[in-house]
Amino acid sequence: MALAQTENCIEVMTGAMLPQGTDTVIRYEDLSIDKGFATISIEKIQAGQNIHSRGVDRLNGEIIVAASRLISPAEIGVAATVGKPELRVAALPRVAILSSGDELVEVHETPLPHQIRKSNVHVLAAVLRTWGLDADMLHLPDDPATIEATLSDCLKKYDVLLMSGGVSMGKFDHLPEVLEKIGVRKLFHKVSQRPGKPFWFGRSERTVVFAFPGNPVSSFMCLHRYFRPWLRASFGLQPIESQYAVLTEDYFFKPDLTYFLQVKLVSSQDGRLLATPVTGQGSGDLANLTDTDAFLELPLEQQAFRKGEVFPVWIYR
């Protein structure tokens, strides 16, 4: 065969199959070609150089992507490479977001002095879209019979209900009572935390219910701190990897509650995540979320949190 002669070579494109009878590739930049003759400009050549052999990435029959993985562009590329035009995936949960209260009006409406525009449902829906979930948005008036009828219907249609408001101690906070009446078993009500202390959680035979407090920062925090970990666990995914940040200044919080402090984050040159408090005006200050990036989780065992201490951080931006 002519290729066995030492004076012969053959061109092959980058990424192509090797011509039969060859085992080594010399890059174009390591030689020059003139009038059909190739002159090699490097001193050392090793058999097998610049070769990507079959089976070095994964062996035949080896698992490339394990089950219970989020599909990213990398997994799509692997699926295309191995000839998988269709993939079996878990179905996303059917989610409804419910606001409550006669004082709420639509975004396009001008509120009367005793009214406010709906914002929480839009915030929650926007967050869910970033996680690949589309949710229906419903509203519950301050009428127990209507609440019962609507929620009973929702338990038949949806896998998850996310509620905003109606779970505190107000005169029209009917949700906990109605939920238990229609067969949603309460697993807990109230958490030693701020914001979000009145958080109610339960489930029926097929539906999980997250009933968040109505204050916007409370519902926003609870969605990230509790719903997102639940969502990942329901798909069999690994828990969210814990992240931590360094407090950049002293902070004091006296109540015996876990406190989720809103912070602005920056990365230091030595690779640390630095968290600067931006306290705002409490759990009703939705605008403060636009100036912050995360919640720093401060434990209830402390009241004084010192500059340089490290705490868990829940990043939402």
Confidence (pLDDT) at 1: 41
Residue 35 falls within a domain, yes or no?
yes
Output the average pLDDT for the chain. Answer: 91
3-state SS, residue 31: strand
Confidence (pLDDT) at 4: 55
Q: If we measure between CA atoms, which residue out of 246, 293, 298, 295 comes closest to residue 274?
A: 246
Residue whose pair of structure tokens reads 């912070």 in the numeric block:
263
Q: Which secondary structure element, helix H or strand E, spans residue 151, and what is its range?
A: helix 144-157
Q: Are residues 272 and 308 in the same domain?
A: yes
Q: Are residues 44 and 74 in the same domain?
A: no
Q: Are residues 127 and 219 in the same domain?
A: yes
CA distance linking residue 213 with residue 182, whole number of Å:
20
Top-ranked range on mean pLDDT: pick from 23-27, 178-182, 232-236, 259-263: 259-263
165-215 tens-digit pLDDT:
877 655 546 788 899 999 999 999 999 999 999 999 999 999 999 999 989
Q: Are residues 103 and 166 in the same domain?
A: yes
51-65 tens-digit pLDDT:
988 888 888 889 999
Residue 239 falls within a domain, yes or no?
no
Q: Are residues 267 and 162 in the same domain?
A: no
Strand ranges in the chain using DSSP code E only, listed in sequence order: 31-34, 37-40, 95-100, 104-105, 116-117, 135-140, 160-164, 185-189, 193-194, 200-203, 208-212, 244-247, 251-252, 258-267, 273-277, 294-298, 304-305, 310-315
Structure tokens at 48: 């097998």
Rounded mean pLDDT of 285-303?
93
Q: Are residues 225 and 189 in the same domain?
A: yes
Backbone angles phi, psi at 302, to 5 degrees: -115, 160
CATH number at residue 212: 3.40.980.10
241-287 tens-digit pLDDT:
889 999 999 999 999 999 999 999 999 999 999 999 998 888 888 88
Q: Are residues 214 and 148 in the same domain?
A: yes
Residue type present at position 189: H
Contact criterion met (CB below 8 Å) for 124 and 137: no
State the total domains in the chain. 4
CA distance linking residue 110 with residue 127, whole number of Å:
25
123-154 tens-digit pLDDT:
999 999 999 999 999 999 888 899 999 999 99
Rounded mean pLDDT of 40-61?
88
CA distances from 22 to 49, 109, 115 (A): 11, 75, 79
List the domain range (segments joined by +) for residue 35. 1-53
Confidence (pLDDT) at 252: 96
User: In this prediction, what percent of the chain has a pLDDT beyond 90?
Assistant: 64
Q: Are residues 197 and 272 in the same domain?
A: no
pTM of the complete model = 0.84
Residue 174 falls within a domain, yes or no?
yes
Q: Are residues 42 and 64 in the same domain?
A: no
Contact criterion met (CB below 8 Å) for 58 and 81: no
Residue whose pair of structure tokens reads 């990897």 in the numeric block:
241
pLDDT > 80? residue 225:
yes
Q: If we measure between CA atoms, which residue out of 176, 193, 166, 195 comes closest to residue 256?
A: 193
Q: If we measure between CA atoms, which residue out of 35, 15, 37, 36 comes closest to residue 25?
A: 15
CATH number at residue 290: 2.40.340.10
Question: Where does the pLDDT of residue 5 fall: very low under 50, low under 70, confident under 90, or very high at 90 and above?
Answer: low
Residue 279: how many CB atoms within 10 A of its CB? 13
pLDDT > 50? residue 96:
yes
- Buried b / exposed e over 44-75, threshold 16 CB at 10 Å, is eeeeeeeeeeeeeeeeeeeeeeeeeeeeeeee
Contact criterion met (CB below 8 Å) for 236 and 67: yes
Q: Are residues 258 and 303 in the same domain?
A: yes
